[in-house]
Each structure stands twice: as C-alpha cells, then as structure tokens.
A = this chain, B = another copy of it.
C-alpha cells in the first residue's frame, strides 16, 4: 500500500498563536484540528506515535518567547503545536530501535499523534509496573534533573543543610526526598499551606514554609538555617536567590535548575548579593538535564527500587484532555498545580 493511499485521521493540537510576553494566558494558545497519516513516510527513520501523557514544564515558558541567543533553547513556532516531553505509544516506526507497540518517553508534540523525526531524545520504556505517567515526571526529565542536580552538581554530603525552592514541584519534591535519603537536613519553600503540608507530611522535609507569608525572606532562612545553607537547589530566582546568598555557608553550592519567578517578566529582577559568593567561596552552577542523559540508566537503577519499596513517593496533578492543556501549562506560573502537572491525552 503506497503512502498516498493511507487515510488521514483527525489530529487535535495545542497551537501557539504568537510569541508571548508577560504572564502567559490560556488564550495565547488554541486547540485546533489537523490531519495526519498514521504511517511513517517511506524511507524515513522517523517514529509515528500516539501521545498518552504530556508534561507541563516551566522551561516551556521560555520557548514561548522570541529567543535571540538562548544557546540550545529555541523558540516554539507560532502557528504550530507546542512541543515538550511526553509518554507515547509507537504506532509505526522507520527506526530500528523502535517498533509498533513500544512505549516511549521523550520530546513529542502537544497533539494526539506525532511524527517524531529526532529520535535521539526518545527513550524506550522498559518498566511498566509503575504508573506510565511517571515517565513525564519522576522517571522522566524532571526526575533525572533532580537526580543530577542534587547528586552530580551539588556534591552533597550527609548531614549538610539543604534548601529547595518550588519544593513541591515536579523536581523539588524529589530533591527533598533524595536529600533526606542521604541524611541531610532539608527545608523547602512553596506557595500555599497545602503544599507546605505536603512537604512536611508526605515528602518528609524537616521543615517547610510558605514564601508568600514571609515578610522577610532573609530572616525566614536565618530561622530555618541558623548555621547557614550548604546546598541551595534553585528553581525560582529573584528575591529568594538574593535572600539565599546572604545565608550561604563557606563552600556552599547553588545548583541552578530554573528561575520560574523571572520567566514572565519583561526585565529580570536584579540580584544584589552576589558578592557573598566571594566571601563564602560559593559555587553557582547552571545546569541542564540534556547534558546528563547518559546517566539515565544509572538513575533508573537507583530510583526504581526506592519507588517499589515506597521510599520515594510522587504527587501528580492531572488534567484530562488536550483541551485542558493550555490552562494546565499557564497554571504552573500562578502555582495552581500541586505536584507534577501532567496532561492525559489518551488512556492507551
């Protein structure tokens, strides 16, 4: 059967209308219909997938604006569907590593079906005794991010004082649990009482606080860290970072994963206390999970038994249906989500 004979099916998509400035709104995206053939073009090494779960991640905000020189980070294309991490089922494959029926996670489109040409960021899912959606979070990009950011970038030692911001998020909740497993003292900040309760009662943080209720973040950190902070896992930037800099210990480390408080600003906030990295000989390391994919098998080996034994738990916030994708994504920036924000596109 030649590809021209194959029937096209409807393909619902979440499309970016135009570059976004300021706080993103649901109306910056629209849900539209396209057509797609459920076959890989002849001779191509692409993979055709049915998307099951999509991941809402803060870094996607950056891709919504026109980026002049963001290194490896490239803008979304207005008029086209968003892309991001997701879990999908292979319907057809021109690539030797993937075959029909395989479950995969990696970079895909915000649509029902995607033709994936760049298979180098696609991982075959081998373990299905855990929730499939975990491969958008705990067992996917955010999980590996937490793992490498904490263990590789922050060089943690037992007994050290660890602070995590956006601590109930997709990455933060894991950093805190990893730190506890290693025997660190861990404090997290989050933006609601519900999240603070989760940090203390579900994820086992030693302490947690609602940053919105603190008039003076410097004083709050001094209260929780009278001896200072050895490791700061940075997810938010801005005022929190400035307050942390005044509370670091000698030879402290700041693993810079994200700065969500800055993504919607036209002009970034100025950080005033950087001079303290000289006084305290602090290391500040920006990192990206994309440099650490080779550690994914090692990460799985570490984390899967912990999940099975209940030593690592994970909280997801699930939106049903692609239609609810825009609201779910936008909600990250007001902190509406509790835990990892996932979109269910289809239940297999």
Is A212 at the interface (CB under 8 A from chain B)? no
Give Cα A274–Cα B261 distance, bound, in whole angstroms.
Answer: 13
Is A282 at the interface (CB under 8 A from chain B)? yes
- CB atoms of B286 and A282 under 8 A apart: yes
Is A223 at the interface (CB under 8 A from chain B)? no
> Per a CB cutoff under 8 Å, which of B237, B270, B283 touches A283?
B283
- CB atoms of B291 and A281 under 8 A apart: yes
Told that A268-B273, A284-B284 touch, could you supply 16 new A-B pairs with CB distance under 8 A? A69-B246, A71-B250, A71-B279, A71-B280, A73-B279, A237-B274, A237-B275, A259-B278, A267-B272, A268-B272, A269-B272, A270-B270, A270-B271, A277-B285, A277-B286, A281-B288
Residues of A at the B interface (CB closer than 8 Å) are 69-73, 237, 241, 246, 250, 256-259, 262, 267-288, 291
- Residues from chain B with a CB closer than 8 A to the CB of A71 are 250, 279-281
**Nearest B residue to A59 by beta-carbon distance?**
B278
- CB atoms of B274 and A259 under 8 A apart: yes
> Per a CB cutoff under 8 Å, which of B268, B279, B280, B285 touches A274?
B268
- CB atoms of B275 and A259 under 8 A apart: yes
- CB atoms of B280 and A283 under 8 A apart: no
- CB atoms of A269 and B268 under 8 A apart: no
- Residues from chain B with a CB closer than 8 A to the CB of A73 are 279
**Nearest B residue to A278 by beta-carbon distance?**
B286
Number of copies: 2
Give, as a whole number of angstroms, the nearest-CB distance from A290 to chain B: 9
> Per a CB cutoff under 8 Å, which of B258, B267, B284, B286 touches A285?
B284
**Nearest B residue to A272 by beta-carbon distance?**
B268
On whether A274 and B275 interact (CB within 8 A), knowing A281-B287, A283-B284, A286-B280, the answer reads no
> Per a CB cutoff under 8 Å, which of B246, B270, B283, B291 touches A272?
B270
> Per a CB cutoff under 8 Å, which of B256, B270, B278 touches A288?
B278
Give Cα A275–Cα B264 distance, bound, in whole angstroms.
Answer: 13
Give, as a whole number of angstroms, the nearest-CB distance from A264 to chain B: 12
- Residues from chain B with a CB closer than 8 A to the CB of A273 are 268
- Residues from chain B with a CB closer than 8 A to the CB of A278 are 256-259, 286-288
- Residues from chain B with a CB closer than 8 A to the CB of A282 are 285-286
- Residues from chain B with a CB closer than 8 A to the CB of A262 are 275
Give Cα A246–Cα B69 distance, bound, in whole angstroms.
Answer: 9
> 4 shortest A-B CB distances, which residue pairs?
A270-B270, A277-B286, A284-B284, A278-B286
- CB atoms of A70 and B279 under 8 A apart: yes
- Residues from chain B with a CB closer than 8 A to the CB of A276 are 286
- Residues from chain B with a CB closer than 8 A to the CB of A281 are 71, 285-288, 291
